[in-house]
């Protein structure tokens, strides 16, 4: 059989094992996987000496994000081009409406923006910031008619995005009834608000005070609070951007009690530490995110969690706000700095460089936490997240021997800085397929703008 495309001679990572062989693509799907090779195609990609992975999936992305009086600087075209050249073929974007917005209108707004610009495939987590009768009715309809399978709640951002405990318990019961996963930003809105007001009153306004205003105990307490409610409601929960071992331990204690809880890490918390946010002359604003960057010792806790399975996924929490013109809104008050460290393009190479190359995790774990586990958790498997016959031909030919540095000039996001500028880099996604078509080669986007598809889960 002559395939449309064949990837030849690479080290192929499948659920059944790792071997040198060929992958045959017909149309948008994987049609054949053959150890030892000998497949023929109209287009042939030589993957000798390289790894062949399923397309990576980012479970935590912000693109259209109204936040703290401004909006994230990327659009769906720029963010998804950046994702693709970094090997990410599917994203899950957070829909973040305001407290007065209707869920149905928010879904329509985000979906329309993505439909017109997204270059990779996409789906959504829908944040729940109101829970009146109309909102409940619309949430049910979105699950039934649009394939929404995950909601998001914030135990932070008092008066803007947080919800009451009464509504949280009702929402969890709805999630259990509908079979929906509830993702959660775990902190404590009241505690943070109190601590931040105290610090500002004391004249402690610089970026170095961001982390002390949201300490590890607040995050761990938020995880414990979420898990206690999930235990009562029988809900499936997913803790996003976990920054420290204390928070992971809170989730694992709940898991031992039978709570269905999954933990996510994000790239910045694995690589950067709080000294970045303490840089002088307001440079630290580039590294303000929530939960904040922690002491370097927490890196080991997170990598250990990935290695032993306590942490199941790695996302980015990509939230791009320019240093000039956006982050500097908080130059006199750290609480006014838009939160976020852009990482959508760098994620896979960061995990390879600082995880695999340093012996913290192996290649199979990298595939699991950056792709397969995400697909399984969020109802996209085996369409996504695996090299298997019949699965979407989302494939990354990865060169583990590429050597360079991370630089802003190589980025396709519209952000005006890189959080990883000048850091050593090992590995690159040499050829990226999205549903059978080559969309990126050696750091360049070569696909069709707007060709991404919505995934109804």
The one-digit pLDDT tens for each residue of the chain (457 residues) are: 899 999 999 999 999 899 999 999 999 999 999 999 899 999 999 999 999 999 999 999 999 998 878 899 999 999 999 999 999 999 999 999 988 899 999 999 999 999 999 999 999 999 999 899 999 999 999 999 999 999 999 886 555 556 788 889 999 999 999 999 999 999 887 888 899 999 999 999 999 999 999 999 999 999 999 999 999 999 999 999 999 999 999 999 999 999 999 999 999 999 999 999 999 999 999 999 999 999 999 999 999 999 999 999 999 999 999 999 999 999 999 999 999 999 999 999 999 999 999 999 999 999 999 999 999 999 999 999 999 999 999 999 999 999 999 999 999 999 999 999 999 999 999 999 999 999 999 999 999 999 999 999 9
Residues of the chain with CATH 2.30.40.10: 2-53+386-402+409-445
Cβ distance 63 to 123 under 8 Å? no
Q: Which helix (H) or strand (E) holds 255?
A: helix 245-256
Q: How far apart are CA 210 and CA 205, in angstroms?
A: 9
CA 239 to chain centre: 12
Q: Classify domain 2-53+386-402+409-445 at the CATH class level.
A: mainly beta
The encoded tokens of residue 207 equal: 């970026």
pLDDT at res. 278: 98
pLDDT at res. 418: 98
3-state secondary structure of 161: coil
Residues of the chain with CATH 3.20.20.140: 57-377
Q: Can you point out the beta strands (E) in 232-355?
A: 236-239, 260-266, 313-315
Q: How far apart are CA 270 and CA 265, in angstroms?
A: 8
Q: Which helix (H) or strand (E) holds 267?
A: helix 267-271
Q: How far apart are CA 137 and CA 104, in angstroms?
A: 10
Helix 133-146, helix 165-178: angle, nearest 10? 30
- Global pTM reads 0.97
Q: Which helix (H) or strand (E) holds 192?
A: helix 189-201
Q: How far apart are CA 285 and CA 296, in angstroms?
A: 18
3-state secondary structure of 451: coil
Please name the CATH architecture into which domain 57-377 falls.
Alpha-Beta Barrel (3.20)
First to last CA, the chain: 33
Q: How far apart are CA 387 and CA 381, in angstroms?
A: 11
pLDDT at res. 189: 78
Q: What is the dihedral of CA 114, 345, 58, 416, to 10 degrees?
A: -60
């Amino acid at each position: 059989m002559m395939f449309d495309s064949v990837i030849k001679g690479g080290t192929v990572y499948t659920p059944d094992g790792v071997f040198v062989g060929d992958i045959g693509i017909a149309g948008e799907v994987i049609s054949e996987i053959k150890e030892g090779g000998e497949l023929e195609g109209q287009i042939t990609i030589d993957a000798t000496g390289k790894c062949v992975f399923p397309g990576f999936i980012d479970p935590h992305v912000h693109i259209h994000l109204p936040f703290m009086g401004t909006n994230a600087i990327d659009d769906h075209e720029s963010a998804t081009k950046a994702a693709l050249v970094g090997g990410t073929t599917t994203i899950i974007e957070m829909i973040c409406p305001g407290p007065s917005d209707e869920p149905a209108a928010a879904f329509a707004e985000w979906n329309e923006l993505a439909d017109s610009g997204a270059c990779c495939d996409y789906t959504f987590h829908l944040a729940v910031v109101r829970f009146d009768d109309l909102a409940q009715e619309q949430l049910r309809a979105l699950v039934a008619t649009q394939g929404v399978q995950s909601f998001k709640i914030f135990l932070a951002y008092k008066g803007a995005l947080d919800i009451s405990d009464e509504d949280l318990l009702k929402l969890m019961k709805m999630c259990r009834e509908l079979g929906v996963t509830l993702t959660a930003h775990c902190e404590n809105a009241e505690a943070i608000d109190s601590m931040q007001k105290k610090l500002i009153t004391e004249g402690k306004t610089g970026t170095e005070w961001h982390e002390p205003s949201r300490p590890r105990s607040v995050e761990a307490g938020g995880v414990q609070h979420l898990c206690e409610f999930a235990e009562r409601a029988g809900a499936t929960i997913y803790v996003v951007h976990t920054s420290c071992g204390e928070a992971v331990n809170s989730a694992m204690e709940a898991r031992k009690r039978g709570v269905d809880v999954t933990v996510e890490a994000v790239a910045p918390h694995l690589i950067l530490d709080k000294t970045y946010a303490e840089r002088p002359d307001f440079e630290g604003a580039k590294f303000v995110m929530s939960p904040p960057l922690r002491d370097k010792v927490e890196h080991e806790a997170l990598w250990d969690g990935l290695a032993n399975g306590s942490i199941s996924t790695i996302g980015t929490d990509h939230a791009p706000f320019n240093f000039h013109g956006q982050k500097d809104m908080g130059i006199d008050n750290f609480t006014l700095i838009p939160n976020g460290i852009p990482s959508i393009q760098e994620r896979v190479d960061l995990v390879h460089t600082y995880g695999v190359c340093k012996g913290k995790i192996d290649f199979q774990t990298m595939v699991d936490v950056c792709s397969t586990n995400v697909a399984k958790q969020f109802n996209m498997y085996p369409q996504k997240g695996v090299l298997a016959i019949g699965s979407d031909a989302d494939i990354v030919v990865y060169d583990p021997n590429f050597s360079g540095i991370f630089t802003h000039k190589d980025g396709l996001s519209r952000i005006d800085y890189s959080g990883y500028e000048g850091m050593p880099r090992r590995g690159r996604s040499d050829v990226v397929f999205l549903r059978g078509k080559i969309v990126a080669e050696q750091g360049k986007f070569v696909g069709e703008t707007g060709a991404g598809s919505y995934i109804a889960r």
